[in-house]
Structure 1
Amino acid sequence: MSQPREIAPGATYMITRRVLRRHLLFRPDAAITQLMIYALAVSARRYGLQVHALCAMSTHLHLIVTDETGVLPRFLQFFHRLVALGTKVLRAWEGPVWDHEAPSVVRLLTRAAVVEKIAYVLANPVAAGLVRHAREWPGAKVDVDELGRGVLVAARPSVYLDPENPKWPEEMTLPLSLPPAIERDNAEGFRQEVAAEIERQEAQAHAEMQQRGRRFLGADRASKISPYERATSFEALRERYPTFAVGREQGDACRMAGAAVRAFRASYRAALERWRAGVRSVVFPAGTWWMRTFHGVSVTDVVSAIQLSAARPDPGWARPDPGWAGARPDTGW
């Protein structure tokens, strides 16, 4: 049985999904970039999500979003389907596009986590040895200067989407918003923090590349490589997938968030056991999504500890965040 996940309105997430067998189907050419931005803009508008950052790598996709109304599963289903079907047409690809594993969904509970993960997303092409600086990546992405104020624009792709259907406008715009953890009067300071973290991660990647005697591939070659090839760099399998990130040196926040996750799961399973036994009056914990959506169960309106921890001021926001503990390293493309 998979672990139940709390879906809370207003939560900010880092989402990652990978291409089947690490094929380079999302090679950063103009057509795939147009598809990515258009599909994301349509999906975000349809489900009311706020988009903060993205980076489409050749073998996987990173997003940082805030789910204002608690409909993240619906958004992911719609968005990933659009991307997959459009990619199949663009690449003349038979079979699945996405890896068989579920998307990685990591909830960002503190300002430190937001800064760290946005920097991680934007610097991902550098960490993968593709370009020397994040701004050089030619694929669908957000630059640090666009955080909270940029607008991505894409015309309707010429493939798959019916131009006569009114739900596919001729052009879509995607405003980039600030995460809820960031005060609007401190937006410039936030961008400076992200830029500093990107610079740190780039320097680390440069040192690792030099130590291994490797050279960066370059934006031009990354854009022209065959999309049917596969990434060949080492990638560990079956490592842990986290559900939240809080930041480095924030042990109290981490312990509280971990305890809240365990409490939610225990409460959910206890309610599910009673429901399976025929007790239809059972009340599930706040954040229950599947059972509420498909079976109409009652859900408590009590806010969980993990929601409270996300709302509290983060006294250690200036300290760097190690990322998600135990996550699979993001190697290759």
Structure 2
Amino acid sequence: MTQPREIAPGATYLITRRVLRRHLLFRPDPAITQFLVYALAVSTRRYGIEVHAFCAMSTHLHIVVTDVNGVLPRFLQFFHRIAALGTKVLRQWEGPVWDHQATSVVRLLTRAAVVEKIAYVLANPVAAGLVRHACEWPGAKVDVGELGRGVLRVARPTVYLDPENPRWPEEATLPLALPPVIQQDSAEGFRRAVAAELERQEEQAHAEAQRQGLGFLGADRASEVSPYERATSFEAVSDRNPTFAVGREQGDALRMARAAVRAFRSSYRAALDRWRAGIRSAEFPLGTWWMHTFHGASVSGVVLTG
């Protein structure tokens, strides 16, 4: 049974989705970069999602966002569909684009978690042995200096999207917002913290590459590989699918987060048992999304309308 997931308005997440069988369909060339940024800009605007950081690797996407309105599943469905369809046209690809595993959605509960995971996203091309420094990656990404203040502007791609459809404006903008745990007056400190963590992770990647006697592929070669090839580097397979992160050495926050997850799941299952027994007045815990959206189930603190 899939564990129930709390969808809370205002929550910040690290989202990861992988390409089918590690094909290099998102190879960082100008066409795919333009399409992915445009699709993200349009999708986040449509659902009121705030973007904090992202990095498009050749085989997967990382995005750090805040779900202001508690509609994350809707956003993911829309964005992933548009990104996949555009990729299929650009790559002349038949069949699915996305891996069959579920999208990884990790809620970031503390400032430490936000700093560490944003640095992780930015450092991904370095950790993968593609470039020596994050700023050298030629694909769609955010640089440290843009965090919380950059605005990306991208023209509508010439493929797949109907220029006569008002859903697809001629130009889309993607503002980069500060995460809600970061106050405006501490923005510079936040960027310095991410830069320091990024440097730590880059140094760690450099040391690991040296230990294994490996070099870095380089931006030019990464942009020229065939998108139909597959990544061959070792990737550990894990059965873990974390739902939250609190950062290193955050023992109290970790204990509180675990207790909150257990409480939500326990309350959800109790309500679901009552629902299955035919008791339609069963009240699900706040943060229940699927049962409320598709079955009209009551949610604690939420008034049903219409």
Q: TM-score normalised to the size of structure 1? A: 0.90
Which residue identity does 1:130 align to in structure 2? L
Show structure 1 runs of 4+ deviating over 6 A.
none
How far the C-alpha of 1:266 sits from its partner, in A, is: 1.1
Instruction: State how far apart, in whole Å, the 1-side matches of 2:218 and 2:239 are.
Output: 30
After superposition, residues 250-265 of structure 1 pair within 5 angstroms as: 250-265=250-265
> Could you tell me how far 1:179 is from its partner in structure 2?
0.1
Q: Please, which runs of 5 or more residues in structure 1 have no aligned partner?
A: 303-333
Report the Cα distance in structure 1 between the residues aligned to 2:237 and 2:125, rounded to whole angstroms: 21
Shift of 1:183: 0.7
The equivalent of 2:99 in structure 1 is 99
Root-mean-square deviation (CA, aligned residues, Å) is: 0.8
Task: Give the superposition deviation at 1:263.
Answer: 1.1
Aligned partners of 2:121, 2:238: CA distance in 1, in Å? Answer: 22
C-alpha distance in structure 1 between counterparts of 2:166 and 2:241, whole Å: 39
SS of 1:31's partner is helix
- Which amino acid letter does the alignment assign opposite residue 264 of structure 1? F
C-alpha displacement of 1:252? 1.5
**What is the identity, as a one-letter code, of the residue corresponding to 1:84?**
A
What residue identity is the alignment partner of 1:80?
Answer: H
Partner Cα distance (1:238, 1:179) in 2: 29
1:204-215 correspondence to structure 2 within 5 Å: 204-215=204-215
Query: Which amino acid is 2:84 matched to?
Result: A
Match for residue 170 of structure 2?
A: 170
**Which residue is 1:221 aligned to?**
221
Q: Once the two structures are superposed, what CA deviation does each residue of 1:116-141 show, in whole Å capped at 9, x if it has no partner?
A: 00000001100000000000000000
- Deviation digits for residues 223-260 of structure 1, max 9, x if unmatched? 01000000001112242010000011111111110111
Partner of 2:288: 288
Q: What SS does structure 1 have at the residue aligned with 2:240?
A: coil
SS in 2 for 1:6: coil
Once residues 22 and 249 of structure 2 are traced to their aligned partners in structure 1, the CA distance between those partners, rounded to angstroms, is 34
Q: Does 1:112 align with 2:108?
A: no
Partner of 2:123: 123
Name the aligned partner's letter for residue 253 of structure 2.
Answer: A
Q: Which residue of 2 aligns with 1:13?
A: 13
C-alpha distance in structure 1 between counterparts of 2:90 and 2:67, whole Å: 29
SS in 2 for 1:14: strand
What amino acid sits opposite 1:229 in the alignment? Answer: E
Measure the CA separation in 1 of the matches of 2:248 and 2:204.
Answer: 17
Return the letter of the residue paired with 2:42.
V
Percent identity, aligned pairs only, is 81
2:154 is paired with a residue whose SS is strand
Paired residue for 1:246? Answer: 246
For 1:124-162, what per-residue CA distance to the aligned partner results, in whole angstroms no more than 9, with x for missing partners?
A: 100000000000000000000000000111111111110
CA offsets, 1:271-329, max 9 Å, x none? 01111111011100000000000011110129xxxxxxxxxxxxxxxxxxxxxxxxxxx
Counterparts of residues 76-95 of structure 1 (less than 5 Å) = 76-95=76-95
In 2, Cα distance between equivalents of 1:82 and 1:250: 38
Task: Say yes or no: does 1:154 pair with 2:154.
Answer: yes
Secondary structure of 1:13's partner? strand
For the residue of structure 2 that corresponds to 1:215, the secondary structure is coil
SS at match of 1:55: strand
Deviations 1:192-239 (A, max 9, x none): 110011111111101111111111000000001000000001112242
**Hey, what does 1:67 align to over in structure 2?**
67
Distance in 1 separating the partners of 2:152 and 2:256: 37
- One-letter amino acid of the structure 2 residue matched with residue 7 of structure 1: I
- Taking structure 2 as the reference length, what is the TM-score of the superposition? 0.98
Q: Give the whole-Å Cα distance in 2 for the aligned partners of 1:231 and 1:144.
A: 27
Counterparts in 2 of 1:179-190, with a 5 A limit? 179-190=179-190
Distance (whole Å) between structure 1 residues aligned to residue 201 and residue 142 of structure 2? 17
Match of 1:320 in 2: none
State the Cα deviation string for residues 7-48 of structure 1 (Å, max 9, x = none).
Answer: 000000000000000000000000000011000000000000
Amino acid at match of 2:50: Q
How many residue pairs match? The answer is 302
**Aligned equivalents of 2:192, 2:256: Cα separation in 1:** 29
Structure 2 counterpart SS, 1:79? helix
Structure 1 Cα separation of the partners of residues 264 and 9 of structure 2: 16
